[in-house]
Amino acid sequence: MEEGKYAKELDVAVRVVHMACSLCQRVQQKLVSSSDDGHVKSKDDDSPVTVADWSVQATVSLMLSETLVENLSIVAEEDVQTLTKADSEGLLAAVVNTVNECLAEAPKFGLQSPPGALGTSQILEAISRCSSNGGPAGRYWVLDPVDGTLGFVRGDQYAVALALIEDGKVVLGVLGCPNYPLKKELLNYPQNYNQTKSKTSLSTATWEKGCVMYARRDGGGAWMQPLIHGDRMLEWPNSATQIWVSPIVDPALATVCEPVERANSNHSFTSGLAETVGLRTQPMRVHSMVKYAAIARGDAEIFMKFARAGYKEKIWDHAAGVIIIEEAGGVVTDAGGRPLDFSRGVFLENLDRGIIACSNAILHEKIVDAVYASWDSSNL
Protein backbone atom coordinates (compact mmCIF):
# COMPACT_ATOMS: atom_id res chain seq x y z
CA MET A 1 0.00 0.00 0.00
CA GLU A 2 1.10 3.57 -0.69
CA GLU A 3 2.50 5.74 2.06
CA GLY A 4 0.64 8.77 3.38
CA LYS A 5 -1.72 9.67 6.17
CA TYR A 6 -3.43 6.63 7.72
CA ALA A 7 -1.26 4.28 5.60
CA LYS A 8 -0.18 2.19 8.58
CA GLU A 9 -3.66 2.08 10.08
CA LEU A 10 -5.16 0.98 6.76
CA ASP A 11 -2.51 -1.67 6.20
CA VAL A 12 -3.11 -3.18 9.63
CA ALA A 13 -6.90 -2.94 9.28
CA VAL A 14 -6.87 -4.79 5.94
CA ARG A 15 -4.78 -7.63 7.38
CA VAL A 16 -6.95 -7.88 10.48
CA VAL A 17 -10.14 -8.02 8.39
CA HIS A 18 -8.60 -10.82 6.30
CA MET A 19 -7.97 -12.70 9.56
CA ALA A 20 -11.53 -12.06 10.71
CA CYS A 21 -12.96 -13.33 7.41
CA SER A 22 -10.93 -16.52 7.70
CA LEU A 23 -12.33 -16.98 11.22
CA CYS A 24 -15.90 -16.40 10.01
CA GLN A 25 -15.58 -18.94 7.22
CA ARG A 26 -14.55 -21.65 9.65
CA VAL A 27 -17.47 -20.87 11.98
CA GLN A 28 -19.97 -20.60 9.12
CA GLN A 29 -18.94 -23.96 7.70
CA LYS A 30 -19.54 -25.52 11.12
CA LEU A 31 -22.93 -23.80 11.37
CA VAL A 32 -24.22 -24.79 7.93
CA SER A 33 -22.93 -28.37 8.17
CA SER A 34 -24.29 -28.98 11.67
CA SER A 35 -27.77 -29.17 13.10
CA ASP A 36 -26.43 -27.98 16.46
CA ASP A 37 -27.54 -24.40 17.01
CA GLY A 38 -25.95 -24.13 20.44
CA HIS A 39 -23.53 -21.54 19.08
CA VAL A 40 -26.36 -19.25 18.00
CA LYS A 41 -27.88 -17.06 20.68
CA SER A 42 -30.61 -14.46 20.43
CA LYS A 43 -29.85 -10.89 21.41
CA ASP A 44 -32.37 -8.64 23.16
CA ASP A 45 -33.65 -7.44 19.78
CA ASP A 46 -34.11 -11.09 18.67
CA SER A 47 -31.45 -10.93 15.95
CA PRO A 48 -29.27 -14.03 15.94
CA VAL A 49 -25.73 -13.70 17.19
CA THR A 50 -23.12 -16.39 16.82
CA VAL A 51 -19.78 -17.34 18.21
CA ALA A 52 -18.33 -15.48 15.19
CA ASP A 53 -19.57 -12.05 16.37
CA TRP A 54 -17.76 -12.22 19.70
CA SER A 55 -14.71 -13.97 18.26
CA VAL A 56 -14.23 -11.36 15.53
CA GLN A 57 -14.70 -8.52 18.00
CA ALA A 58 -12.11 -10.01 20.36
CA THR A 59 -9.65 -10.69 17.52
CA VAL A 60 -9.92 -7.22 15.98
CA SER A 61 -9.66 -5.57 19.39
CA LEU A 62 -6.58 -7.62 20.31
CA MET A 63 -4.77 -7.19 16.97
CA LEU A 64 -5.40 -3.43 16.71
CA SER A 65 -4.22 -2.96 20.31
CA GLU A 66 -1.05 -4.98 19.66
CA THR A 67 -0.07 -3.40 16.34
CA LEU A 68 -1.11 0.24 16.66
CA VAL A 69 0.63 2.09 19.46
CA GLU A 70 -2.13 4.40 20.61
CA ASN A 71 -4.83 4.66 23.22
CA LEU A 72 -7.25 2.54 21.25
CA SER A 73 -10.92 3.45 21.22
CA ILE A 74 -13.42 1.13 19.51
CA VAL A 75 -17.17 1.42 18.92
CA ALA A 76 -18.55 -2.07 18.33
CA GLU A 77 -21.81 -3.94 18.40
CA GLU A 78 -21.37 -6.73 20.96
CA ASP A 79 -21.00 -6.76 24.74
CA VAL A 80 -20.12 -9.61 27.10
CA GLN A 81 -23.40 -9.87 29.04
CA THR A 82 -24.69 -12.97 27.22
CA LEU A 83 -21.27 -14.62 27.24
CA THR A 84 -20.87 -14.31 31.00
CA LYS A 85 -24.23 -15.89 31.90
CA ALA A 86 -24.17 -19.24 33.69
CA ASP A 87 -25.77 -21.10 30.77
CA SER A 88 -23.21 -19.76 28.25
CA GLU A 89 -20.17 -21.76 29.36
CA GLY A 90 -20.06 -23.80 26.15
CA LEU A 91 -20.45 -20.69 23.99
CA LEU A 92 -17.71 -18.86 25.88
CA ALA A 93 -15.36 -21.84 25.53
CA ALA A 94 -16.07 -21.91 21.78
CA VAL A 95 -15.25 -18.20 21.52
CA VAL A 96 -11.96 -18.65 23.40
CA ASN A 97 -10.96 -21.57 21.16
CA THR A 98 -11.98 -19.77 17.98
CA VAL A 99 -10.04 -16.61 18.87
CA ASN A 100 -6.89 -18.56 19.75
CA GLU A 101 -7.11 -20.55 16.49
CA CYS A 102 -7.36 -17.30 14.57
CA LEU A 103 -4.54 -15.56 16.44
CA ALA A 104 -2.24 -18.50 15.73
CA GLU A 105 -2.67 -17.76 12.01
CA ALA A 106 -1.61 -14.11 12.33
CA PRO A 107 1.88 -14.64 10.77
CA LYS A 108 0.25 -15.77 7.52
CA PHE A 109 -1.23 -12.29 7.27
CA GLY A 110 2.02 -10.54 8.17
CA LEU A 111 1.03 -9.93 11.79
CA GLN A 112 2.42 -11.26 15.07
CA SER A 113 0.71 -13.92 17.16
CA PRO A 114 0.66 -13.68 20.96
CA PRO A 115 3.42 -15.76 22.59
CA GLY A 116 0.86 -18.27 23.87
CA ALA A 117 -2.84 -19.04 24.00
CA LEU A 118 -4.94 -16.34 25.64
CA GLY A 119 -7.17 -17.09 28.60
CA THR A 120 -10.89 -16.46 29.02
CA SER A 121 -10.42 -13.24 31.01
CA GLN A 122 -8.11 -11.72 28.37
CA ILE A 123 -10.60 -12.44 25.61
CA LEU A 124 -13.56 -11.10 27.60
CA GLU A 125 -11.53 -7.98 28.34
CA ALA A 126 -10.79 -7.52 24.62
CA ILE A 127 -14.52 -7.70 23.80
CA SER A 128 -15.45 -5.33 26.66
CA ARG A 129 -12.81 -2.83 25.56
CA CYS A 130 -14.96 -1.98 22.52
CA SER A 131 -17.23 0.32 24.49
CA SER A 132 -16.55 3.76 23.04
CA ASN A 133 -19.60 5.88 22.24
CA GLY A 134 -17.98 7.73 19.34
CA GLY A 135 -18.75 11.42 18.99
CA PRO A 136 -17.40 14.55 17.27
CA ALA A 137 -13.87 14.60 18.69
CA GLY A 138 -10.87 12.30 18.68
CA ARG A 139 -10.05 9.09 16.86
CA TYR A 140 -11.96 5.84 17.20
CA TRP A 141 -12.50 2.63 15.27
CA VAL A 142 -15.98 1.43 14.35
CA LEU A 143 -16.54 -2.32 14.00
CA ASP A 144 -19.43 -4.50 12.96
CA PRO A 145 -17.94 -7.95 13.59
CA VAL A 146 -20.53 -9.81 11.50
CA ASP A 147 -22.79 -7.47 9.57
CA GLY A 148 -25.80 -9.41 8.34
CA THR A 149 -25.79 -12.13 11.00
CA LEU A 150 -28.99 -13.56 9.54
CA GLY A 151 -27.23 -14.05 6.20
CA PHE A 152 -24.28 -15.56 8.04
CA VAL A 153 -26.42 -18.11 9.86
CA ARG A 154 -28.15 -19.07 6.59
CA GLY A 155 -24.88 -19.57 4.72
CA ASP A 156 -25.58 -16.44 2.68
CA GLN A 157 -24.01 -12.97 2.31
CA TYR A 158 -22.50 -11.14 5.30
CA ALA A 159 -19.60 -8.75 5.91
CA VAL A 160 -16.91 -7.80 8.41
CA ALA A 161 -16.86 -3.99 8.53
CA LEU A 162 -14.11 -1.86 10.09
CA ALA A 163 -13.70 1.90 9.77
CA LEU A 164 -11.63 4.63 11.40
CA ILE A 165 -13.31 7.92 12.31
CA GLU A 166 -11.38 11.05 13.25
CA ASP A 167 -13.14 14.16 14.54
CA GLY A 168 -16.48 12.85 13.28
CA LYS A 169 -15.29 12.05 9.72
CA VAL A 170 -14.72 8.55 8.30
CA VAL A 171 -11.08 8.46 7.18
CA LEU A 172 -10.70 4.82 6.17
CA GLY A 173 -12.90 1.78 5.71
CA VAL A 174 -12.37 -1.94 5.18
CA LEU A 175 -15.12 -4.34 4.15
CA GLY A 176 -14.54 -8.09 4.18
CA CYS A 177 -17.11 -10.03 2.13
CA PRO A 178 -16.28 -13.75 2.48
CA ASN A 179 -19.14 -15.02 0.29
CA TYR A 180 -19.11 -12.26 -2.32
CA PRO A 181 -18.94 -14.09 -5.66
CA LEU A 182 -16.37 -12.98 -8.19
CA LYS A 183 -19.12 -13.38 -10.80
CA LYS A 184 -21.94 -10.86 -10.37
CA GLU A 185 -24.59 -13.37 -11.50
CA LEU A 186 -24.02 -15.53 -8.41
CA LEU A 187 -25.22 -12.72 -6.13
CA ASN A 188 -28.77 -13.78 -6.99
CA TYR A 189 -28.13 -17.42 -6.14
CA PRO A 190 -30.57 -19.07 -3.69
CA GLN A 191 -29.79 -18.42 -0.04
CA ASN A 192 -28.75 -22.01 0.52
CA TYR A 193 -26.03 -21.84 -2.17
CA ASN A 194 -23.26 -22.65 0.31
CA GLN A 195 -25.27 -25.28 2.14
CA THR A 196 -25.83 -27.28 -1.04
CA LYS A 197 -22.09 -27.61 -1.57
CA SER A 198 -20.24 -30.63 -0.30
CA LYS A 199 -17.24 -29.90 1.88
CA THR A 200 -14.91 -30.81 -1.01
CA SER A 201 -16.58 -28.53 -3.53
CA LEU A 202 -16.90 -25.74 -0.92
CA SER A 203 -13.13 -25.54 -0.54
CA THR A 204 -12.82 -25.34 -4.34
CA ALA A 205 -15.58 -22.73 -4.53
CA THR A 206 -13.72 -20.45 -2.12
CA TRP A 207 -11.37 -19.64 -5.00
CA GLU A 208 -14.34 -18.14 -6.82
CA LYS A 209 -15.69 -15.97 -4.03
CA GLY A 210 -14.59 -13.74 -1.21
CA CYS A 211 -12.84 -10.37 -1.19
CA VAL A 212 -11.71 -7.51 1.02
CA MET A 213 -12.40 -3.96 -0.21
CA TYR A 214 -10.82 -0.87 1.30
CA ALA A 215 -10.30 2.86 0.87
CA ARG A 216 -8.95 5.87 2.73
CA ARG A 217 -9.98 9.51 2.48
CA ASP A 218 -7.26 10.75 0.15
CA GLY A 219 -8.67 10.45 -3.35
CA GLY A 220 -6.52 7.37 -3.90
CA GLY A 221 -9.48 5.27 -4.95
CA ALA A 222 -11.04 2.07 -3.66
CA TRP A 223 -9.27 -1.26 -3.87
CA MET A 224 -10.12 -4.95 -3.71
CA GLN A 225 -8.07 -7.98 -2.75
CA PRO A 226 -9.17 -11.58 -3.23
CA LEU A 227 -9.86 -13.13 0.15
CA ILE A 228 -6.88 -14.88 1.63
CA HIS A 229 -7.57 -18.09 3.47
CA GLY A 230 -5.26 -19.11 6.26
CA ASP A 231 -4.76 -22.59 4.81
CA ARG A 232 -3.77 -21.56 1.31
CA MET A 233 -1.06 -18.94 1.62
CA LEU A 234 2.41 -18.84 3.03
CA GLU A 235 3.10 -15.15 3.28
CA TRP A 236 1.74 -11.66 2.82
CA PRO A 237 1.49 -9.39 0.73
CA ASN A 238 -1.68 -9.89 -1.24
CA SER A 239 -2.39 -8.35 -4.64
CA ALA A 240 -4.96 -5.55 -4.99
CA THR A 241 -7.03 -4.27 -7.92
CA GLN A 242 -8.59 -0.83 -8.11
CA ILE A 243 -12.39 -0.85 -8.34
CA TRP A 244 -14.77 1.72 -9.81
CA VAL A 245 -18.48 2.29 -9.76
CA SER A 246 -20.64 1.48 -12.80
CA PRO A 247 -20.87 4.11 -15.58
CA ILE A 248 -24.63 3.48 -16.11
CA VAL A 249 -26.70 6.68 -15.85
CA ASP A 250 -29.99 5.46 -17.39
CA PRO A 251 -32.37 4.39 -14.58
CA ALA A 252 -33.95 1.79 -16.89
CA LEU A 253 -30.63 -0.06 -16.99
CA ALA A 254 -29.70 0.39 -13.32
CA THR A 255 -29.78 -2.35 -10.70
CA VAL A 256 -31.02 -1.38 -7.24
CA CYS A 257 -30.03 -3.14 -4.00
CA GLU A 258 -32.24 -3.21 -0.95
CA PRO A 259 -32.16 -4.98 2.40
CA VAL A 260 -33.55 -8.52 2.65
CA GLU A 261 -35.14 -7.89 6.06
CA ARG A 262 -38.55 -6.24 6.03
CA ALA A 263 -38.35 -5.46 9.75
CA ASN A 264 -36.22 -2.35 9.35
CA SER A 265 -36.83 -1.42 5.73
CA ASN A 266 -39.88 -0.22 3.81
CA HIS A 267 -39.91 -2.33 0.65
CA SER A 268 -43.23 -0.94 -0.59
CA PHE A 269 -41.91 2.64 -0.61
CA THR A 270 -38.67 1.69 -2.41
CA SER A 271 -40.64 -0.29 -4.98
CA GLY A 272 -42.94 2.69 -5.64
CA LEU A 273 -39.90 4.94 -5.86
CA ALA A 274 -38.23 2.59 -8.34
CA GLU A 275 -41.30 2.78 -10.56
CA THR A 276 -41.36 6.59 -10.38
CA VAL A 277 -37.71 6.84 -11.45
CA GLY A 278 -38.12 4.24 -14.19
CA LEU A 279 -36.03 1.44 -12.68
CA ARG A 280 -36.96 -1.72 -14.54
CA THR A 281 -34.43 -4.22 -13.27
CA GLN A 282 -35.58 -6.59 -10.52
CA PRO A 283 -34.20 -5.35 -7.17
CA MET A 284 -31.26 -7.27 -5.78
CA ARG A 285 -32.01 -8.08 -2.13
CA VAL A 286 -28.77 -8.70 -0.31
CA HIS A 287 -27.90 -9.15 3.36
CA SER A 288 -25.47 -6.75 5.00
CA MET A 289 -23.06 -4.11 3.74
CA VAL A 290 -22.39 -6.33 0.73
CA LYS A 291 -24.84 -3.89 -0.92
CA TYR A 292 -22.21 -1.15 -0.58
CA ALA A 293 -19.60 -3.54 -1.99
CA ALA A 294 -21.82 -4.29 -5.00
CA ILE A 295 -22.06 -0.59 -5.88
CA ALA A 296 -18.36 0.08 -5.29
CA ARG A 297 -17.40 -2.79 -7.60
CA GLY A 298 -19.85 -1.76 -10.33
CA ASP A 299 -22.22 -4.72 -9.91
CA ALA A 300 -25.17 -2.48 -8.97
CA GLU A 301 -25.93 1.21 -9.27
CA ILE A 302 -28.32 2.14 -6.47
CA PHE A 303 -28.91 1.26 -2.82
CA MET A 304 -31.91 2.74 -1.04
CA LYS A 305 -32.91 2.16 2.55
CA PHE A 306 -35.93 3.77 4.17
CA ALA A 307 -36.30 2.48 7.69
CA ARG A 308 -39.65 2.06 9.33
CA ALA A 309 -40.65 4.55 12.02
CA GLY A 310 -38.68 4.16 15.24
CA TYR A 311 -35.67 2.39 13.72
CA LYS A 312 -32.37 4.25 14.15
CA GLU A 313 -29.42 3.56 11.85
CA LYS A 314 -26.14 2.69 13.57
CA ILE A 315 -22.78 4.02 12.40
CA TRP A 316 -21.17 0.57 12.18
CA ASP A 317 -23.72 -0.49 9.55
CA HIS A 318 -22.59 2.21 7.13
CA ALA A 319 -19.20 3.82 7.87
CA ALA A 320 -16.90 1.42 5.98
CA GLY A 321 -19.25 1.06 3.02
CA VAL A 322 -19.77 4.80 2.58
CA ILE A 323 -16.08 5.70 2.22
CA ILE A 324 -15.43 2.79 -0.14
CA ILE A 325 -18.26 3.84 -2.48
CA GLU A 326 -17.18 7.49 -2.37
CA GLU A 327 -13.55 6.66 -3.15
CA ALA A 328 -14.74 4.38 -5.99
CA GLY A 329 -16.51 7.39 -7.52
CA GLY A 330 -20.02 7.09 -6.09
CA VAL A 331 -22.27 9.26 -3.93
CA VAL A 332 -23.86 8.47 -0.54
CA THR A 333 -26.22 10.83 1.29
CA ASP A 334 -29.42 10.81 3.25
CA ALA A 335 -32.67 11.12 1.29
CA GLY A 336 -32.46 14.90 1.44
CA GLY A 337 -29.09 14.87 -0.32
CA ARG A 338 -27.02 15.68 2.78
CA PRO A 339 -23.83 13.78 3.73
CA LEU A 340 -24.29 11.21 6.50
CA ASP A 341 -23.22 12.56 9.89
CA PHE A 342 -20.99 10.12 11.80
CA SER A 343 -20.15 12.61 14.56
CA ARG A 344 -23.23 12.19 16.75
CA GLY A 345 -22.37 8.97 18.59
CA VAL A 346 -23.50 5.41 17.94
CA PHE A 347 -26.50 6.42 15.79
CA LEU A 348 -26.80 8.37 12.55
CA GLU A 349 -28.81 11.17 14.11
CA ASN A 350 -30.83 13.72 12.12
CA LEU A 351 -31.07 11.35 9.17
CA ASP A 352 -33.46 12.79 6.59
CA ARG A 353 -35.88 9.92 5.92
CA GLY A 354 -33.40 7.35 4.65
CA ILE A 355 -30.11 6.57 2.91
CA ILE A 356 -29.37 6.72 -0.82
CA ALA A 357 -26.15 5.40 -2.34
CA CYS A 358 -25.58 5.71 -6.08
CA SER A 359 -22.83 5.01 -8.55
CA ASN A 360 -22.93 8.57 -9.89
CA ALA A 361 -24.38 12.03 -9.31
CA ILE A 362 -26.87 11.82 -12.20
CA LEU A 363 -28.69 8.78 -10.81
CA HIS A 364 -28.41 10.17 -7.30
CA GLU A 365 -30.14 13.43 -8.23
CA LYS A 366 -32.98 11.54 -9.92
CA ILE A 367 -33.56 9.37 -6.83
CA VAL A 368 -33.49 12.33 -4.43
CA ASP A 369 -35.95 14.24 -6.65
CA ALA A 370 -38.23 11.20 -6.75
CA VAL A 371 -38.15 10.91 -2.95
CA TYR A 372 -39.37 14.49 -2.60
CA ALA A 373 -42.07 13.85 -5.20
CA SER A 374 -43.27 10.56 -3.66
CA TRP A 375 -42.89 11.20 0.06
CA ASP A 376 -46.24 12.83 0.83
CA SER A 377 -48.17 9.98 -0.73
CA SER A 378 -46.13 7.26 0.99
CA ASN A 379 -47.12 5.37 4.11
CA LEU A 380 -43.94 6.04 6.04
Strand 139-147 and strand 74-76: the pairing is parallel
Residue pair 143/161 in contact by the 8 Å Cβ criterion: yes
Is 147 known as a binding-site position? yes
53 belongs to the catalytic site: yes
Is 144 known as a binding-site position? yes
Residue pair 175/18 in contact by the 8 Å Cβ criterion: no
Residue pair 347/318 in contact by the 8 Å Cβ criterion: no
Residue 92 C-beta-side C-alpha neighbours within 13 Å: 19
DSSP code of residue 332: E
Query: Quick count: other Cβ atoms within 10 Å of Cβ 134?
Result: 23
Single-letter amino acid, residue 334: D
Residue pair 288/147 in contact by the 8 Å Cβ criterion: yes
List Cα–Cα distances, 373 to 178, 258, 273, 339, 366, in angstroms.
39, 20, 9, 20, 11
User: Which of these is catalytic: 50, 82, 149, 270?
Assistant: 149
Query: Smallest Cα–Cα separation from 335: which of 348, 325, 320?
Result: 348
Residue 28 backbone dihedrals phi, psi, to 5 degrees: -65, -40
Is 166 known as a binding-site position? no
167 belongs to the catalytic site: no
Residue 224 backbone dihedrals phi, psi, to 5 degrees: -135, 135
* Binding positions: 77, 144, 147, 317
* Binding positions for Mg(2+): 77, 144, 147, 317
Active site residues: 53, 149
